[in-house]
Structure 1
Amino acid sequence: MINKRIIVAGMAVTMLFSACKTKDLKMTTKEEVPTDKKIVVYQVFTRLFGNKNTTNKPWGTIEENGVGKFNDFTDKALHEIKDLGVTYIWYTGVPHHALVRDYTAYGISNDDPEVVKGRAGSPYAVKDYYNVNPDLAVNPVNRLQEFEALIARTHKAGLKLIIDIVPNHIARKYEGKSNPEGVKDFGADDDVNVEYKRDNNFYYIPKEHFEIPNGDIPLNGEKNPMVDGFFDENPAKWTGNGSRKVQPDQNDWYETVKVNYGIRPDGSKDFPELPAGFDRKSYQEHFAFWQDKDVPDSWKKFKSIALYWTAKGVDGFRYDMAEMVPYEFWSYMNSAIKMKNPNAFLLAEVYNPNEYRNYIRLGKMDYLYDKVETYDKLKDVIRGKSNPDGLSDIQKGMSDIEHHMLHFLDNHDEQRLASPEFAGTPERGKPLMVVSTTISTSPTMVYFGQEVGEAGNENAGFGTHSRTSIFDYIGVPNHQRWMNEGKFDGGKLSESEKSLRDFYKRLLNFSIKSSALMGNFQEIQSVNRQNNLGYDDLIYSYVRWSENQKLIVVVNFSSDKTSEFDLKIPSDIISKWNLKDGEYSLKDQLYLKNEIKLIVNNGEGKAKVKIAPSESFIYEVK
């Protein structure tokens, strides 16, 4: 989706449901999400990953620009991804979504370009939840079997996988042609003569025809028999982002319709609510609560979808715009998933910090995007809008839920880390990546191509510069050089790109093996910022430790200044680490070349550090 967060914030999403606040509660997060090592998620845009075509014509067709397939994820490709230090793959864009291509020979209806974004279509306008995108199959007839084979290959490689579920909205022309027996289509039993009814799947604008938005030019003006200024939707439905207009704006999510979860048009709830204290209950207790409850029909439909994919071996889900759906529904569905697979990985796109704890504790989410806190702060730092001191306050403010806040610097919605609009160069992104990976116990996510410096410079057509388009058939140049015509050996990478990938490989592999990174955190920024000659504004430092490992992390966000200073390790940390007065070796674990001395005197520690521009050290105390 385009401008998701702006739209959500602007609406304040009237339909979003005020939740009881649970900020003052503390919890042991690892009891809720058991793990003894870091999780690293590798997000791939499935349609683009294996594409070898380098034409990159704006608005190009599959024949002109090419497309990747499930089969491109070979055993070799998956081995190389795992070897990078990855534990999960997020295959983005797998469910069958609306697109502009003729698949009528396979029993699939054509989609109207006037309600499709781009030519390849948005992966978040799902057309059939029980099947997969035909573009991704060598043989569209066997597309589901080809994805099932990819599930098996992924597991064979020692990786787990997640796919998207988009409960808030579906394609304007949803057609469940692959529904299991007994499953009715969305809207099949709706009363279309009323705006709202609890068990309707959609919201309606009775007696009004849908009108396509003004301003958007489908297919960049290319002639198409379905581009006629009309899309047959009568009565009109509410648009996916909540717009109640018969004619949505071109910046609305006009290619989708909003799903009704039993939230009345005035924002009140038309379903059972969780009793007080359920923020402390297990998923088993949540599951038991819902067994005798009458819930809206849309809840049942999406639970069936999630359990269908769980039964096929999918290890979890990334939920698009989860905060636009009530957390009671998430309690209902997530607890059912966990009953089938207690280790399911459930990740939600949520941008409202005031709701984080509700979606974790009441919605039973494992992980949420740490976007508006850690990501935005790091972006401000590298763009010269802030110093890094506030990172410490962010960690303190989320100390009770830090494990649940997934960290990323790149994904399909955001500007590429290496783009001029973000870090500017891959090198300048390195200190951000070190902090993002090591500052908390949370999972780390990398977007394919990030590890070789992809900057998203292409003019794809509908997709915008600085982001790798999710709407177009396009190639990803840096990634394609690593892919090397399907050899997946980095054979066409430049030396700097090889070096960058090696940096990511060392960092990620260290992170998934480090016990300290699953242990304690304490900032040492504040003590080092006080009267410390040479400790510049763009230096940031903190410590991480477990029973068996003690780490000191120092990064330099400056792009042009080398800093030299005495790094201070305060007495409370020296005491917690049980270090006696004396000399200790600090060996960098990132490059394995730099070794300095920590001198402990009168219970306080100091180490002489020299750090180059965009450099980072992860010192282990020996």
Structure 2
Amino acid sequence: MQKIIIYQVLTRLFGNTNRNNVQNGTIEENGCGKMNDFTTKALQEIKELGISHIWYTGIIEHATTTDYSQYHIESDFHEVIKGKAGSPYAIKDYYDVCPDLAEDVNHRMGEFGSLVKRTHDANLKVIIDFIPNHLARHYISDSKPDQIIDFGKDDDTSVNFHINNNFYYLPGETFDGPVTAKNKNHLIENPAKVTGNDCISAKPGINDWYETVKLNYGINIFDGSKHFDPIPDTWNKMLQVLLYWADKNIDGFRCDMAEMVPVEFWHWAIPEVKKRYPKIIFIAEVYNPDLYRQYITYGGFDFLYDKVGMYDTLKLIMQGHQQPSAITKAWDVLNGIHQHMLFFLENHDEQRIASPFFAGEAQKSIPAMIISGTMYSNPLMIYFGQELGEEGMDEEGFSGKDGRTTIFDYWGVNLYQDWVNEKSFDGAGLPQSANDLRSWYKTFLNIALTNDTLKNGKFYDLMWANEDNDNFDSNCLYAFLRYYNDKILLVVVNFSNEKVKCRIKIPPHAFFTMGVESARFFKGIDILGGKNKISFPKDVAISNGLGVKVKPYSGRIYELS
């Protein structure tokens, strides 16, 4: 099987070498990355990092303050846009590419096609966003195919809910957002529509998704009743969107806030897409663990975020609020669906590891990354700049100093620009610590991507066998085995800031489970470091434990033979 390792990149920021970084700056002041910045060289570097898929975030056209009216793209209303650039999750036209990302705005769809081809030529696969729950407050498609009818065009706005309405309405009320319009060109929405985060009010607050409107999939949110027969109009419209982009030769969709869309829609739509494009993958953003199995087994998703689970657990361990033994509880909850869970430590929503809001030091990511990438054969994702130790501590504009890289503003990510280095991608401008970290990620991700035991093997947790082991500090260590055919990997990580010497007991049950009960002697080499070797009789591993040394914030992957 193929191991999936995803490189999420905010397309707008990737190739931007402009270092002005004016707070709340315009596209003219701060610049903007383009799809063409993903050159053959850039894609080669990403591939060689140990990546199989690129998630190009922000491809589909969204609301922005930048004026593209000269290209026959209708201007947006600034009071319902977050930041100068706007949120890539406030879709303005499902059938178009964001004009910010094009060198030639008139040829933006062609440039996207070229990006897909270059990506495939680099032996990488393409993932884009699908945002099904909500649209930009001012949605108008100027690029839709002739047979497509715009969302809301045929809605009955005199009622709160109708099965064939695309939106929910508040008749008799006018939208009154939290941001006051600063000029005469302002949005008039009458009747008001329900806001994207299910805010049933004509006056959403500043913390609501006020820039978006909720789509109606046949659930009457005013009384909770479901209306799926006949098929609601929104279902058909969204299937058309999925098929439109699937036809662009992409390889997968990352489906934003999938749990806010009824699972019945996914059960219907995903098989319809896969009839025509059987290899395309669907990744769901789902935060409620109680819904995981439903969205996999009934909804048809290939993979789900494991945010409220492995991510939260690893973050708490890295911050010193939990012990590594909590990892055992986190994987136990996933029993039977492990291979469907997408592990990550950073994405566009979460704080950067190196920021003081998370761990404060990029090196602390290493033991958690080893866990995330080697525990199972499931997908792994990193966020661009994570491999360099990006802190996300700029105060860009709409996005403040919050430990996140902005998705709302035009900006240049300085550390990433140092790696891009005027598009030579040699990292010559990087501090040594960033180069060292990227080198480690490159080694590790390529092992995770290609090692047969990690791609296909089974998992055996060693924590229970070392609960009463005085020579194994469970306050900072986590250890497990992966095995496949005649190959065994012993993985041990150290979450502490001190070098640890330990002895890891491997119980007889483990040898029996792995089918090597007759073996008497093992030799091992750390495939992550390459220099550290071990050898031990099996009875020593069982009784006294295997002696291992692990550096601070580090780990070892021993291949035993």
TM-score band, normalised by shorter chain: over 0.9
Match among 112, 116, 119 for residue 154 of structure 1: 119
Q: CA deviation at 1:322?
A: 0.4
Is 1:486 the counterpart of 2:423 in the alignment?
yes
Q: Give the structure 2 partner of residue 57 of structure 1.
A: 22
> Match of 1:563?
500
CA deviation after TM superposition for structure 1 residue 37, in Å: 2.7
**Aligned counterpart for 2:435 among listed residues 464, 482, 498:** 498
* Partners of 1:112 and 1:226 within 8 A in 2: no
> For residues 565 and 487 of structure 1, what CA distance do their matches in structure 2 show?
44
1:418 offset after TM fit, Å? 1.5
Equivalent residue for 1:585, pick from 519, 523, 529: 523
Look up the match of 1:516: 453
Q: What's 2:227 paired with?
A: 270
SS in 1 for 2:538: strand
2:472–2:504 Cα contact (<8 Å) kept:
no
Deviations 1:287-341 (A, max 9, x none): xxxxxxx310100011001101111101110000000000110111111111112
Displacement of 1:225 after TM fit? 3.4
TM-superposed CA distance for 1:522, in Å, is: 1.3
Counterparts in 2 of 1:382-401, with a 5 A limit?
Answer: 382-401=318-337
Give the aligned partner of residue 613 of structure 1.
552
Distance 1:104 1:554, change over 3 A: same
Q: Which residue of the partner structure matches residue 526 of structure 1?
A: 464
1:345 corresponds to: 281
Residue 593 of structure 1 aligns with an amino acid whose one-letter code is K
Q: CA deviation at 1:385?
A: 0.7
2:393 aligned residue: 457
Rounded to whole Å, the distance in 2 between the matches of 1:354 and 1:143 is: 41
Q: Which runs of no fewer than 5 residues in structure 1 stay unpaired?
A: 1-35, 219-223, 273-293
Find the aligned partners of 1:89 and 1:165 in 2 and give their Cα distance.
15
Tell me the secondary structure at the aligned position of residue 416 of structure 1.
Answer: coil
- TM-superposed deviation, 1:417: 1.5
**Is 1:418 aligned to residue 354 of structure 2?**
yes
Aligned pair partner of 2:187 in 213, 218, 231:
231
Matched, 1:442 2:367: no
One-letter identity of the residue aligned with 1:543 = L
- What percent identity do the matched residue pairs reach? 47
Residue aligning to 1:4: none
Report what 2:266 is aligned to.
Answer: 330
Cα distance between partner residues in 2 of 1:226 and 1:429 = 49
Query: Could you say what secondary structure the match of 1:130 adopts?
Result: strand
Code of the residue aligned with 1:256 in structure 2: it is T
Distance 2:521 2:180 in 1: 69
Cα drift, residue 604 of structure 1: 2.4
3-state SS in 2 of match to 1:153: helix
| Paired position in structure 2 for 1:537 | 475
- The residue correspondences of 1:117-128 to structure 2 (distance < 5 A) are 117-128=82-93
Give secondary structure in 1 for the equivalent of 2:505.
Answer: strand
Provide TM-score, normalisation by structure 2: 0.97
AA aligned to 1:351 is: Y
Conserved 8 A contact 2:59-2:98? yes
Instruction: Assess if the C-alpha contact under 8 Å between 1:37 and 1:515 holds in 2.
Output: no
Matched position secondary structure for 2:492 = strand
1:531, distance to aligned residue in structure 2 (A): 2.9
Partners of 2:541 and 2:183 lie apart in 1 by 79
Runs of 4+ in 1 over 6 A off after TM superposition: none
Secondary structure of residue in 2 paired with 1:234: coil
* 1:210-229 correspondence runs (5 A): 210-213=175-178, 216=179, 225=183
CA distance in 2, matches of 1:246, 1:399: 43
Change (3 A) 1:217 1:579: farther
- Whole-Å separation in 1 of the counterparts to 2:6 and 2:269: 23
Answer yes or no: is 1:261 the counterpart of 2:217: yes
What is the DSSP-based 3-state SS (H/G/I as helix, E as strand, rest coil) of the residue aligned with 1:459? coil
Would the aligned equivalents of 1:550 and 1:620 in 2 still touch at CA under 8 Å?
Answer: yes
Q: Name the aligned partner's letter for residue 596 of structure 1.
A: I
Within the candidate set 390, 408, 412, 1:471 is matched to 408
Q: Distance in 2 between matches of 1:367 and 1:588?
A: 30
**Aligned equivalents of 2:527 and 2:226: distance in 1?**
52
| Pairing of 1:53-452 with structure 2 (within 5 A) | 53-213=18-178, 216=179, 225=183, 230-264=186-220, 265-272=222-229, 294-452=230-388
DSSP 3-state at the match of 1:127: strand
Q: Which residue of the partner structure matches residue 546 of structure 1?
A: 484
Spell out, residue by residue over 1:225-244, the C-alpha distance to the aligned partner (whole angstroms, 9 max, x if none): 357xx521111000000111
The answer on whether the counterparts of 1:56 and 1:458 sit within 8 Å (CA) in structure 2 is: no
Contact 1:581–1:602 under 8 Å retained in 2:
no
For residues 552-599 of structure 1, the C-alpha deviation after alignment (integer angstroms, 9 at most, x for no partner) is 11000012x221121111111122331435331111111112111233
Displacement of 1:437: 0.9
Q: Distance in 2 between matches of 1:475 and 1:591?
A: 34
Residue pair 1:209, 1:235 contacting (<8 A) in 2 also: yes
Of the structure 1 ranges 567-576 and 80-89, higher mean CA displacement relative to structure 2 is found in 567-576
Q: Which amino acid aligns with 1:235?
A: P
Aligned position for 2:5? 40
Q: Deviations over 1:380-419 (max 9, x none)?
A: 0011110010211221221200111100000000001111
Change in CA separation of 1:536 and 1:359 when aligned onto 2, cut-off 3 Å:
closer
| Structure 2 residue runs without a partner (length 5+) | none
State the AA in 1 paired with 2:366. K
Q: Give distance in 1, aligned partners of 2:191 and 2:354.
A: 45
Q: Residues 574 and 604 of structure 1 are in contact (CA less than 8 Å); yes or no, is this contact kept in structure 2?
A: no
Q: Aligned equivalents of 1:125 and 1:211: distance in 2? A: 18
CA contact (8 A) 2:155 2:167 kept: yes
Deviations 1:22-65 (A, max 9, x none): xxxxxxxxxxxxxx131100000000000001122210111211
Residue type of the alignment partner of 1:429: S
What amino acid is aligned across from residue 117 of structure 2 in structure 1?
Answer: A
Alpha-carbon separation, structure 2, partners of 1:473 and 1:217: 22
